[in-house]
A = this chain, B = another copy of it.
C-alpha cells in the first residue's frame, strides 16, 4: 500500500506488476470479450515496457494478468472486516466493510464487465473472487470467536459472501440496471448474512 514503506527493489517490482496488469486489462477491454484471443503476450509486455519473458515472471497466463486487479481487491476483504469496530454485529460489519471496499473508488465498470462476461476468463475470475474466502473466513472466525478448524460457519459464510459479491457485480453490470453498486451489494449480502452466528449454526 504505502510505497515508501518499501525499498526501491520492492517499489520497482510492484510498479512493474501493476504496469503489466494494467496493460493486459486495457488491451483486453479494447479487443472486447470476443477478441481476447487476439491479445498476444507480446503486445501486453510491449505496452508495459518489459520483455515477454519478464511478463511471465509475474504472471503465468494472460488470464491471470487480466484478472489480477480483482484478485488484489479480494485479498483486501479480510483486512477490511478486521478494521470494523469490534462491537458491531457480524452482518453489519461485513456489509459495511464490503461496501466501503467496493465503492471507494467506484469500481471500473469496463474491467469488471470484461472479466465477468468473457468465457475464457471465467475460471480466472472465479479464482480472483474466491481469493477473499481464506482471509475473510479468518476474520469472521476472529470476530465471532469461532474455531476455523472445527466450525464450518466461518468458511461457509466467507464463501457465501464472496458469492454474493459476485452475483451483485453481475447484476450491477446488467444492461437495464440503474441502481448503485452499493445498494445492490447491501441487498445481496443481506440474503446470506445472519444477524450473528446463531448458536445452532455452530457445530461440535
Contacts and interface: CB of A to CB of B under 8 A. Distances in A.
Interface of A: 63, 122-124, 126-127, 130, 152-153, 155-157, 159-160, 162-164, 166-168, 170-171, 184, 187-188, 190-192, 201, 203
Contacts of A190: 201
A166 B160 CA distance: 11
B156 A191 contact: yes
Copies of this chain in the oligomer = 2
B123 A192 contact: no
Contacts of A201: 190-191
A152 B126 contact: no
Which of A127, A160, A163, A164 is most buried by chain B, counting CB atoms within 10 A of its CB? A163
B171 A152 contact: yes
Contacts of A203: 187
Contacts of A187: 152, 203
A96 B83 CA distance: 38
